[in-house]
Amino acid sequence: MRGPSRAGWALPAALLGAQAFAALGGALATLVLAGMMTPDAFGRGNALVGIAMLGSLALSGNLEAGAFRFLCTGTDADRARFLRASDLLILAGAILAIPLCLVIALPSGASMAEVALLLALFPALALFRARARQGAALGTPGRAALPRLVARPAAFLVLAAGVWITGAQPLAWALPTALLTATLAGLSIQHRLLRTRFHPLKRHGGKPGWNIDWLRTGIAFLPSLLLTEYHRALVLVVAGMTLSAAMLGHLALALSLAALPGLALIAMEMATTQRLTQAALSGDTARSAAILARIARARCLVLLAVLVPFVALLEPACARLFPGYPGLAATAWPLLAMPVGRALLGNPLHVLALKGENGAAFIVCGAGVGLTVPAILAGAMLAGAPGAALGAALAQTATGIALWALCRRRCGIDLSVLSLRRAESATLPVT
């Protein structure tokens, strides 16, 4: 019995460790690089990384979002068509990106080297993300996801270590170059790990085909992706339309600092995902209420334990560690509303997906993206980097409240701290 038990825990433990490394390693590398780079170079480098990430998402059409739906069912011929369509869409997007970058980026002041970096990053990032989702859907989640989780933070940690040791001052192109190196290395490792699963499907015959449901599914999950995994990139790219590179550097560093308390919340959510899923799908109202209340209480206690010392140390730490970023704390303060809102409201998107409410979630998240863009632009124009931070935080909080209300109305599940009141009447103990 011990062998299977250990084997069953090995993959979740490896993925959890990789996620923790990605979060902590990425945050540490960002802080070190920010301290060694000028605000102008740091801002421009982060803008390039943000453009590359959003561009890669546009290239693939987020087609890989439907991997679990379309690769877990049907015949091998159907799976082969889906994989070919995904690759062809990325290839077509990469070709189309060449004239677009030349027409848009070069007149805006980007160098030819920066354009070349973006043109290489777009398809590389898109294929890396697509293979991770597709490989997981085909039954090899560890081999598919681990390279993507580890590659980027590892590359930035190596860059940060090199900068720290040599005392060099990296230029803006160092960040997208490190990202490209990490992505290509990760793709190579991913290809080796997944080739036994993908090659038989790639060689499978059959007519090429296209299913509009593939693209429809990808687009349905785009807004939620922009508000979660790609939120930082969205904020920086939108703010970069108005802010100078130096002010964008302030905003990028403030986003990294304000995300530090959220790391504890992310760890808490990963640890309680299974119990949250059980509570959401349970028909026992009293038991579900008790579980949700315990999770909400734990979230708040974890955030409080991290937030109190963070708030006390933020201003002196900013002045001491980042003297080249005057007024950094003023930009970071509004952004703390995002981890606080997440602790108070929970993660309704997870429950909405479990309950099949993806259509309603798409509408709310789409409205959230539509609110985020003008809020950031207005804040940046009125008050610079602190204004952009305030606009992003207000839009994110408003979207979180809307998703919480939707989850409570459609699913009858309250993930917020208000669930503590509902649990007072629950008499069934949680085991």
Q: Say what the pLDDT of residue 214 is.
A: 85
Q: Say what the pLDDT of residue 27 is.
A: 85
pLDDT(430) > 50: no
Q: Say what the pLDDT of residue 100 is.
A: 86
Q: What is the mean pLDDT of residues 329-347?
A: 93
**Cα–Cα distance, 430 to 272 (Å, whole number):** 14
Q: Say what the pLDDT of residue 383 is.
A: 95
**Cα–Cα distance, 136 to 125 (Å, whole number):** 17
Of residues 266 and 47, the one with the higher pLDDT is: 47
Map out the domains of the chain as residue ranges. Answer: 1-218, 221-431
**Cα–Cα distance, 42 to 254 (Å, whole number):** 12
Q: Say what the pLDDT of residue 10 is.
A: 67
Summarised one tens digit per residue, pLDDT across range 133-164 is 888 888 888 888 888 888 888 888 888 888 88
Q: Say what the pLDDT of residue 339 is.
A: 92
**Cα–Cα distance, 346 to 407 (Å, whole number):** 11
pLDDT(1) > 80: no
Q: Say what the pLDDT of residue 341 is.
A: 92
DSSP string, 314-348: HHHHHHHH-TTSTTHHHHHHHHTHHHHHHHHH--H
Q: What is the mean pLDDT of residues 51-75?
A: 87
Tell which residue, 300, 302, 328, has the closest CA to residue 385: 328
pLDDT, the chain, mean: 86
**Cα–Cα distance, 390 to 396 (Å, whole number):** 10
Q: Say what the pLDDT of residue 369 is.
A: 97
Task: Check if the beta carbon of residue 395 is closer than 8 Å to that of residue 368.
Answer: yes
Q: Say what the pLDDT of residue 2 is.
A: 46
Q: How far lies 62's CA from each of 56, 225, 230, 421, in Å?
A: 9, 9, 12, 40
pLDDT winner (highest mean) among 88-102, 169-183, 379-393? 379-393
User: Collapsing DSSP states into helix, strand and coil, what is residue 170?
Assistant: coil
251-284 burial string, b = 16+ CB within 10 Å, else e?
bbbbbbbbbbbbbbbbbbbeebeeebeebbeeee
Half-sphere exposure of 155 (CA within 13 A, CB side): 18
